[in-house]
C-alpha cells in the first residue's frame, strides 16, 4: 500500500519538482532485450508532455528502467527527438553525468511528416494502419539508433558505446505483438557513483532525470518571398545529440530558423529515487 500511494503521488505531481519515488526490488538480474515480460503490466510513472510511461527496478548492483510508448506520436517523438537520463548521486537535479538513448536524430517535424505521407501513399489510402506506420518508423531508425551516448559517466571514456558493452551499461528496444514500443536500460550503480556502492550509499536517494528532446519545427522564411529551407539529412545522421529549437528574430526581419512549437518543446522530469534494498 505504501508503494502504491507513493507511486500515485508521483503520477500526480511529476511536473512540479523532483518527487520522491521508490524503485522496485528484483531478486534476479533482468534480461535487457526490449521484451517487457519481466516488467509489471501497469507502469507506475507517467511524465506529462511525453505521452509515455516508465518504471524503475533495482538489485544491489544495477538500476533498471523501462520506457513504454503506446501511441505512434510518442514513439516517433522518442525515437527521433531522443531521451537523456541524468544521474545525480547526491539526490538532487544536477545534470553532470548521464546517457542518451535514443539519441536525437537530425530530422525536422516536416521531414517526419513527409515520411508519414510516404507511408500513406504506399498504403494506397489516406489512413495507414498503426502497424504500417510503426513499420515505417522501424525502417527509419533501425540503422540510426545503434549507440549509447556517454555524458561524463565516471570511468567511461568512450563518447559512444554499443548497446551491449563491457561496462554493463546495456540498452535494448523492441515492439510487442500489438506495436507498443519498449526501451529497456541496465545502468550499473557503480557507473552512476563512480565506484561499487556501499551499504550506506544504497540507503541514499539518487537524482534521476528524464529529458526528452525538442521537436524541430519546419523551417520557414519570410520577407522577400523566400521559400522553406531544410537541409538534406539521412536517418543515420546524428547532429549534436541535443539540438534545441531556435527563436524568432526581431520584428521586420526574416524568420529563417526553426520555429518554436510548445507541443514539441523539450520535456524534463526528475525523480528523487530511493532504491529498494533487501
Contact present, 149 and 100 (Cβ < 8 Å): yes
pLDDT of residue 238: 38
Tell me the average pLDDT of the chain. Answer: 78
Rounded CA separation 25/217 (Å): 41
What mean pLDDT comes out for the span 243-265? 41
- Phi–psi pair at 165, nearest 5 degrees: -145, 170
Rounded CA separation 88/95 (Å): 7
Angstrom distances, CA of residue 50 to CA of 14, 83, 267: 12, 10, 7
Of 45-54, 89-98, 212-221, highest mean pLDDT:
89-98
Q: Write out pLDDT tens, residues 256-276.
A: 333 445 567 899 999 999 999
pLDDT confidence tier of residue 177, bands split at 50, 70 and 90: very high
pLDDT confidence tier of residue 17, bands split at 50, 70 and 90: low
Rounded CA separation 64/22 (Å): 13
Domain chopping of the chain, boundaries:
2-218
In the Cβ-directed half-sphere of 210, how many Cα atoms lie within 13 Å?
25
Q: Write out pLDDT tens, residues 18-50.
A: 689 999 999 999 999 999 999 999 999 987 777
Amino acid at each position: 500500500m505504501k508503494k502504491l500511494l507513493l507511486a500515485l503521488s508521483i503520477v500526480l505531481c511529476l511536473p512540479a519538482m523532483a518527487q520522491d519515488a521508490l524503485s522496485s526490488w528484483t531478486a534476479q538480474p533482468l534480461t535487457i532485450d526490449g521484451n517487457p515480460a519481466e516488467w509489471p503490466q501497469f507502469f507506475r510513472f507517467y511524465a506529462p508532455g511525453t505521452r509515455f510511461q516508465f518504471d524503475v527496478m533495482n538489485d544491489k548492483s544495477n538500476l533498471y528502467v523501462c520506457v513504454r510508448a503506446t501511441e505512434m506520436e510518442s514513439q516517433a517523438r522518442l525515437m527521433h527527438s531522443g531521451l537523456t537520463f541524468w544521474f545525480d548521486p547526491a539526490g538532487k537535479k544536477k545534470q553532470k553525468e548521464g546517457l542518451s538513448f535514443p539519441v536525437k536524430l537530425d530530422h525536422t517535424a516536416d521531414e517526419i511528416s513527409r515520411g508519414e505521407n510516404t507511408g500513406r501513399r504506399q498504403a494506397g489510402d489516406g489512413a495507414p494502419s498503426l502497424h504500417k506506420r510503426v513499420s515505417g518508423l522501424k525502417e527509419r531508425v533501425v540503422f540510426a539508433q545503434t549507440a549509447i551516448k556517454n555524458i561524463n559517466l565516471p570511468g567511461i571514456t568512450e563518447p559512444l558505446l554499443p548497446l551491449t558493452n563491457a561496462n554493463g551499461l546495456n540498452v535494448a528496444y523492441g515492439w510487442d505483438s500489438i506495436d507498443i514500443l519498449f526501451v529497456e536500460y541496465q545502468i550499473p550503480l557503480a557507473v552512476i557513483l563512480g565506484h561499487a556502492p556501499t551499504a550506506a550509499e544504497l540507503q541514499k536517494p539518487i537524482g534521476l532525470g528524464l529529458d526528452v528532446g525538442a521537436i524541430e519545427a519546419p523551417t520557414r522564411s519570410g520577407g522577400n518571398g523566400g521559400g522553406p529551407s531544410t537541409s538534406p539529412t539521412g536517418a543515420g545522421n546524428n547532429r549534436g545529440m541535443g539540438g534545441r529549437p531556435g527563436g524568432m528574430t526581431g520584428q521586420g526581419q526574416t524568420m529563417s530558423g526553426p520555429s518554436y512549437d510548445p507541443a514539441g518543446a523539450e520535456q524534463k522530469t526528475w525523480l528523487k529515487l530511493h532504491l529498494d534494498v533487501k
